[in-house]
């Protein structure tokens, strides 16, 4: 049997991020007798000495990451180059040249999900013999301040037709943000939805009961969020919305919310990140710490959606948030920012509001949504018939192109032939 062709995916890390999770879902479902994935990631460690170290030496300075074991079990390899930080351009390019020359002929394609420096590493990969280069845009925005300005400058060459062979984006907004209007309007960008393993998110009442008992939330309304604590996710606004939600239930006319009055309410947030401690302090300042659960990273995040009753997602910007797709697959009503692409509005479960509104406006919308739901015997809130509506929801999401099994077949054809049709 012929050896599978190998595709190199370029990331910043192999942590539990959205883009990384989507590629791992694809990796698990793709025909690995035909296609194998390898990964090039970036380390914060600097190469020492005048001579750039080998890729094996670079591996020695890299800390293990979340998906390392998954990659190894599936048959992939992990390589590492120094992280580009703005002042080490020569060293970064030298390390890339050395890496691709050492592994000349190993990969049929290089797919760069890290677009901040794709205009640097993809041309180098091409010159070193990689047959096909792909830039894959995963976000429609950048960080604030100098970092965001530098990112825009560095990836500006991606708007040129000559920088890479193919351009992928998770949404049209991401395509325009990274590759520009000209290439997007000229159909030079292929939109590839952030597909998920839908079977893992189908509503399951037994899982719901188990997770809620573990969290001590068997008799509570659970407002949920999944996302790393980063500027883009807008956790500060989310927490203020939740605080207003509590205030309205506690101090406004209780008769107006008779079904909700008296029930415990909790905010459940899955994820970690650099702003996590700041958000914990905000909860303390607002005197709601006892009602907020910072659950951290969860490898079984799919099960935590089952425990939620409502999904809140007020991001400042996104590419295409897979978490909102996952929440819909789990049957959750979702209130999201109107800055998020409408391509995520797959089912009737999604509502939108502007983050320019006062948090109290979002809070009243949440209450109105929850008031439309009948109260079950255990006094928790189930948003409609989640179990009964699961098949219809999954069918809608599949039809919109978000099923990873279907996407695995499409991508297998592309990796083998360079064509989608």
Domains in the chain, start-ordered, CATH in brackets? Answer: 5-195+403-417 (3.40.50.2000), 200-399 (3.40.50.2000)
Q: Report which of residues 58 and 270 the model is more confident about.
A: 270
**pLDDT (tens digit per residue) in 195-253:** 999 999 999 999 999 999 999 998 899 999 999 999 999 999 999 999 999 999 887 65
Highest average pLDDT, of 6-10, 92-96, 380-384, comes from 6-10
3-state helix vs strand vs coil in the chain, percent to 5: 45, 15, 40
The secondary structure of 260-325 as a DSSP string is TTT-EEEEEEEB--TTHHHHHHHHHHTT-GGGEEEEE--TTHHHHHHH-SEEEE--S--S--HHHH
The answer, yes or no, to whether residue 258 has pLDDT greater than 80, is no
The answer, yes or no, to whether residue 190 has pLDDT greater than 60, is yes
**pLDDT (tens digit per residue) in 6-26:** 999 999 999 988 899 999 999
pLDDT for the residue numbered 46: 47
* DSSP bridge pairs for 49: none
- C-alpha–C-alpha distance, residues 134 and 188, integer Å: 12
CA distances from 96 to 18, 107, 127, 133 (A): 25, 15, 11, 14
Mean per-residue pLDDT over the chain, rounded: 88
pLDDT for the residue numbered 169: 94
Predicted confidence band of residue 58 (pLDDT cuts 50, 70, 90): very low
Q: Yes or no: say if 189 and 179 are a contact pair by the CB < 8 Å rule.
A: yes
Predicted confidence band of residue 85 (pLDDT cuts 50, 70, 90): confident
The secondary structure of 180-246 as a DSSP string is HHHHHHTT-SEE----B-GGGGS--HHHHHHHHHHHT-TTEEEEEEE--SSGGG-HHHHHHHHHHHH
pLDDT for the residue numbered 160: 81
DSSP E strands, 29-165: 35-43, 78-82, 109-112, 132-137
Averaged pLDDT for residues 25-49 = 85
Predicted confidence band of residue 71 (pLDDT cuts 50, 70, 90): very high
The answer, yes or no, to whether residue 60 has pLDDT greater than 50, is no
pLDDT for the residue numbered 121: 96
- C-alpha–C-alpha distance, residues 62 and 230, integer Å: 23
Q: Report which of residues 145 and 77 the model is more confident about.
A: 77
Predicted confidence band of residue 381 (pLDDT cuts 50, 70, 90): very low
pLDDT for the residue numbered 374: 46
CA distances from 117 to 70, 194, 290, 404 (A): 25, 21, 42, 27
The answer, yes or no, to whether residue 308 has pLDDT greater than 50, is yes
Averaged pLDDT for residues 258-282 = 87
**pLDDT (tens digit per residue) in 101-154:** 999 999 999 999 998 899 999 999 999 999 999 999 987 665 666 666 666 776
Range of lowest pLDDT (130-139, 275-284, 288-297, 371-380):
371-380
Averaged pLDDT for residues 396-417 = 95
């Amino acid at each position: 049997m012929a050896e599978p062709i190998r595709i190199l995916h370029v990331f910043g890390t192999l942590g539990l991020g959205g883009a990384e999770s989507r590629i791992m879902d694809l990796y698990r479902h793709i025909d690995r007798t035909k296609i194998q994935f390898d990964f090039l990631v970036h380390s914060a460690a600097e190469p020492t000495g005048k001579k750039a170290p080998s890729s094996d030496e670079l591996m020695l300075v890299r800390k293990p990451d979340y998906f390392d074991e998954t990659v190894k079990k599936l048959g992939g390899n992990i390589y590492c180059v120094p992280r580009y930080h703005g002042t080490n351009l020569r060293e970064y390019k030298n390390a890339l040249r050395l890496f691709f020359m050492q592994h000349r002929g190993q990969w049929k394609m290089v797919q760069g999900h890290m677009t901040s420096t794709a205009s640097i590493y993809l041309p180098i990969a091409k010159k070193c013999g990689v047959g096909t280069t792909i830039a894959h845009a995963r976000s429609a925005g950048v960080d604030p301040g100098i970092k965001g300005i530098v990112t825009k400058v560095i990836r500006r060459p991606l708007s040129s037709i000559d920088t890479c062979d193919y351009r992928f984006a998770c949404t049209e907004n991401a395509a325009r943000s990274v590759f520009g209007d000209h290439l997007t309007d000229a159909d030079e960008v292929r939109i590839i939805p952030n597909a998920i393993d839908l079977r893992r998110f189908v509503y399951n009442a037994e899982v719901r009961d188990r997770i809620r008992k573990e969290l001590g939330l068997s008799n509570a309304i659970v407002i949920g969020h999944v996302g790393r604590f980063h500027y883009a996710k807008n956790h500060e606004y989310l927490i203020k919305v939740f605080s207003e939600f509590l205030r309205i239930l506690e101090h406004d006319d209780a008769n107006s919310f008779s079904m909700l009055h008296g029930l415990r309410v909790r905010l459940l947030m899955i994820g970690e990140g650099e702003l996590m401690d700041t958000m914990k302090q905000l909860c303390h300042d607002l005197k709601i710490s006892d009602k907020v659960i910072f659950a951290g990273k969860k490898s079984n995040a799919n099960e935590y959606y089952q425990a939620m009753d409502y999904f809140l997602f007020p991001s400042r910007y996104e590419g295409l948030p897979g978490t909102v797709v996952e929440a819909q697959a789990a049957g959750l009503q979702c209130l999201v920012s109107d800055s998020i692409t409408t391509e995520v509005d797959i089912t009737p479960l999604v509502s939108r509001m502007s983050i320019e509104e006062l948090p109290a406006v979002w809070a009243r919308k949440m209450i109105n949504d929850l008031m439309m739901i009948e109260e079950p015997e255990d006094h928790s809130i189930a948003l409609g018939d989640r179990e009964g509506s699961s098949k219809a929801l999954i069918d809608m999401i599949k039809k919109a192109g978000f099923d990873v099994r279907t996407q695995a077949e499409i991508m297998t054809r592309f990796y083998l032939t360079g064509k989608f049709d």
